[in-house]
Amino acid sequence: MKRTTVLKRVVILVAVLATLFSLSATVSAARVPTDAYTYWQKGDTGAKEAVTIRPLYTAEEVIDGNTLGIGAMVSPKYMAVDNNGFLYVLDSGNGRIVVLDTDMTVLQTIEEVYQDGEAIPFMGAGGLSVTKDHLYIADTDGGRVLVCSRSLNVEQVITKPDSYLIPENFPFKPTRVVCDNKGFLYVLCEGSYYGTMMFTDTYEFLGFYGANLVEGDVLSAIKEWFQSIFMTDAKQGGTTKKLPYQATDVTLGPDGFLYTSTEGGQWSFTRGEIRKMGPGGGNILKFSSNLSSMDADDFRFTDMEYNYNTLNTRITPAIAGLSVDADGFIYAVDRATGKILIYDQMCNLLTAFGGGIGTGTQLGTFVTPVSVVGNGEEVYVLDTIHASITVFRLTEFGRKVRQADILSLDGDHAQAKPLWQEVLEQEQNYQIALVGLGKAALGERDYETAMEYAQLGLDQETYISAFKSTQSKFLEKNFIWLFFGILLAIVGLSVFFIISRKREIVLVRHEQLRHATSVLTHPFVSFNSIRQTPRLSMWIPTAILFLFFLGKMAEKEYAGFMYVLPSKESSLLFTLIGTVGLAVLGVFCNWGISVLFEGKGKLKQCYCALCYCLVPQIVGSIAYVALTYLVVPTGGSVLTIVQMIITIITVIWLLLAITIVHEFSFFKAIGALIGTILAMCLVGFIAFLLVVLAQDVVTFVGNLFKEAFYR
């Protein structure tokens, strides 16, 4: 009996502890911050590195039809917000619109709209839009757009327009609809590669607007051409043409401009996934890169690296939902990875959070998110599979970031400074905070601090502005000393050269080394020595070639911050190929061409001559690295002139080397130089074709193994 009592007490105690643990776990889970990150620009190559930061938003709650007391939602497709901040949820599977207030309480459930007293259902609708006077429903399955008053009376039904601009086989299946401030209507249709359909305020069709561009490059075009050579006519007829990616969402910003999102390809990254349409339909969204403002069509908005699901299958990013809030911040949801990304108007990634990659088992993660809305200090994300809305709320850290970024974009860097300082104290990985503090210091004329922050934040523009001011102050204080110092150096060098020539002072005793180092001042003597010397030393030209490689490496790794951003990525291999590899290829090509032209130079002589011609490049690299710390980059800067002069000298020296070593006439030397360049291009093209062919062979073998495995 006692054993039974003790056993009961133990069971009750375990049950109580389990209940308390589950309750505490439930409470804590609702407050666990969602993992957040942003991207840190690593260098001037456009590469970026994901860095973890404090969360700007936390997942607060998950709302579904049952918690709202309206019954389960079925395949909800879209959300929109009106001027009052009320949320409109399109419950597509149930054919209804659920209206929620800012406290996520149901205000209204719209199950039907009416035309002439007759109820019109909209089950299977894909999108909606709300203005002060109207409710627009993109009835996808019905092949129409319903224009309703706020009293739910249908004022207009838009079907497929009768226009020569629309192909006969064009399926009019609206998925999104947006009305701008002037009453113009924009309709996005399923499967449309032509852009968004544009209607006037009287619902007359004007044409297509803002189509995406077809991606392509020279290498892919050459690859396609090469592959087409080996295709039969039947196979070429069966190939598909490359079409632009279709837009997935369209929304209106507070500035009155239209924003669109693009899902992208299945196996490759896409750039320009978010676009801001100008009056002509072109993208006017910009981002800063290398001291210039560039079109966002070249900017990658999704993750820089691939994601993988639980089966280790590669997941390609796919933006499915887009929203722009009253402050101009851009919200995008990645359907494939479940990530939410928030950008400002300069394409700075404020934060990325969420996740799930098709599982969505934790709070703040998703299975298939399809719509996102930024509404004040809250972000709503709609998951169509879970049929639920996740509410994210702004943290104190996020509030400071938003306020500071708004002030910085408005040019009020002084007001943004204390906010950026607080942000940086909490999160040292926040690059835009460093940039903001650099601009604030520049406005306060604290140039040393501005340069320090700008260099930490990789902001060349601010650094250059601060450097100009410090350089001007330095020159004002030390101009006389600098002038006389430079004058004294010039006079000293001149006297030294005059005395050394009169007294025949020989600085370099080794004859071949002396000829190699004097190629800048006595090129004819240097190249004649190659022709006349019976036993050429190979270590001297090899040393010059090695110095040429080091010089080019120094230009990329040790040039001043105003010209080259520091990068963690090593450029050793590419620089080696671009210097030593090209030089060796040039030697063999020049020797082969000279044989055809009946030249007398030997392979060893060609090698020595080409290496001697690289001496101006070595001097140019030293001058370039030194000047990058002194000269401010401009369109026609001193560095551009120096590089142009060095290039001209190198070409002239190559012509002299070919003329002397091969005993050619000047015009024959020009022909040999052109032939050498063409031969190098031909070899490179053949190497490219071999690589393409090897890739095709690997793909073919891989497909064979897959077929054998699955069968």
Same domain, 616 and 588: yes
Identify which has the larger pLDDT, 34 or 325. 325
| 393: enclosing H helix or E strand | strand 388-394
Percentage of the chain modeled with pLDDT above 90: 50
174 occurs within a structural domain: yes
Beta partners for residue 324, in sequence order: 330
CATH number at 427 reads: 1.25.40.10
Q: Is residue 508's pLDDT more than 80? A: no
For position 520, what pLDDT does the model report?
Answer: 82
In which domain, by residue range, is 490 found? 396-505
Residue 184 lies in a domain: yes
d(CA 71, CA 65): 5
363, 394, 425 - which closes a domain:
394
pLDDT tens across 283-308, in order? 889 888 766 778 888 888 888 766 66
Q: How far apart are CA 265 and CA 288, in angstroms?
A: 25
**Residue 20 binned pLDDT confidence (cut-offs 50, 70, 90):** very low
Q: What total number of domains does the chain contain?
A: 3
pLDDT of 225 over the 80 cut: no
CATH number of 60's domain: 2.120.10.30
What's the pLDDT score for residue 635? 59
Residue 568: per-residue pLDDT: 64
- The reply to whether 458 and 533 lie within a common domain is no
DSSP 211: P
Q: Would the pTM count as exceeding 0.95?
A: no
Phi/psi of residue 485, nearest 5 degrees? -65, -45
The answer to whether residues 66 and 183 belong to one domain is yes
Within this chain, do residues 348 and 267 fall inside the same structural domain, yes or no?
Answer: yes
pLDDT on residue 9: 46
Q: Does residue 33 belong to any structural domain of this protein?
A: no
Residue 243 clears pLDDT 70, i.e. is over it: no
The burial class, CB within 10 Å (0-12 / 13-18 / 19+), for 273 is: buried
The mean pLDDT value for 603-615 works out to: 92
pLDDT of residue 542: 93
CB-based contacts of 527, cutoff 8 Å, min separation 6? 519, 609, 612, 656, 657, 660, 661
Bridge partners, 663 (sequence order): none
Residue 39 lies in a domain: no
Lowest mean pLDDT among 235-239, 246-250, 612-616: 235-239
Residues 482 and 616 in one domain: no
Kindly state the percentage of the chain with pLDDT values over 70: 84
Q: What is the mean pLDDT of residues 77-89?
A: 94
Verify that 485 and 550 share a domain, yes or no: no
What is the reported pLDDT for 706? Answer: 65
Distances in Å between the Cα of 308 and the Cα atoms of 172, 178, 313, 359 are 35, 34, 5, 12
Mean pLDDT of 457-480: 88
Beta partners for residue 379, in sequence order: 374, 392
Contacts of 611 (CB under 8 A, 6+ apart): 516, 540, 541, 542, 544, 545, 548, 583
* pLDDT, greater one: 206 or 511: 206
Kindly state whether residues 488 and 534 are assigned to the same domain: no
- State whether residue 485 is helix, strand or coil: helix
Last residue of a domain, one of 364, 394, 424: 394
Please tell me whether residues 260 and 350 are part of one structural domain.
yes
Regarding whether 194 and 114 lie in a shared domain, the answer is: yes
Question: What number is the average pLDDT over the span 367-393?
Answer: 95
Quote the CA–CA distance of 88 and 128 in Å, as a whole number.
8
Residue 179: what pLDDT?
Answer: 94
Residue with tokens 């460093």: 434
Give the tens place of pLDDT for each residue, 532-564: 887 788 888 999 999 999 999 999 888 989 888
pLDDT at 212: 64
78 DSSP β-pair partners: 90
Task: Evaluate whether 405 touches 399 at the Cβ level (below 8 Å).
Answer: no
Q: What is the per-residue pLDDT for 288?
A: 80
User: Above 80 in pLDDT, residue 41?
Assistant: no
Average pLDDT for 234-246: 52
Instruction: Please check whether residue 704 lies inside any domain of the structure.
Output: no
What pLDDT is stored for residue 215 in this prediction?
53
Q: What is the mean pLDDT of residues 221-234?
A: 51
Judge whether 220 lies within some domain: no
Closest CA to 612 of 661, 575, 576, 573: 661
The domain boundary residue, chosen from 442, 473, 505: 505
Q: If 0-12 CB within 10 Å is exposed, 13-18 middle and 19+ buried, where does residue 156 land?
A: middle
Give the end-to-end CA distance of the chain in Å, rounded to a whole number. 65
Tell whether 228 is covered by a domain: no
User: 577 and 441: one domain?
Assistant: no
Domain assignment present for 430 = yes
Query: For residue 266, what are its two tokens?
Result: 């299945």
Question: Rounded distance, CA 72 to CA 67, Å?
Answer: 9
How confident is the model at residue 510, as a pLDDT?
64
Could you tell me the pLDDT band of residue 272, with boundaries at 50, 70 and 90?
confident
CA-nearest of 432, 419, 440 to 458 is 432
Query: Is 687 found in the same domain as 658?
Result: yes
Mean pLDDT score of the chain, rounded to an integer? Answer: 84
pLDDT of residue 61 exceeding 50: yes
Q: Are 246 and 259 in contact (CB under 8 A)?
A: no
Q: Are residues 527 and 590 in the same domain?
A: yes
Quickly count: other Cβ atoms within 10 Å of residue 231's Cβ.
Answer: 12
Mean per-residue pLDDT for 695-709? 73
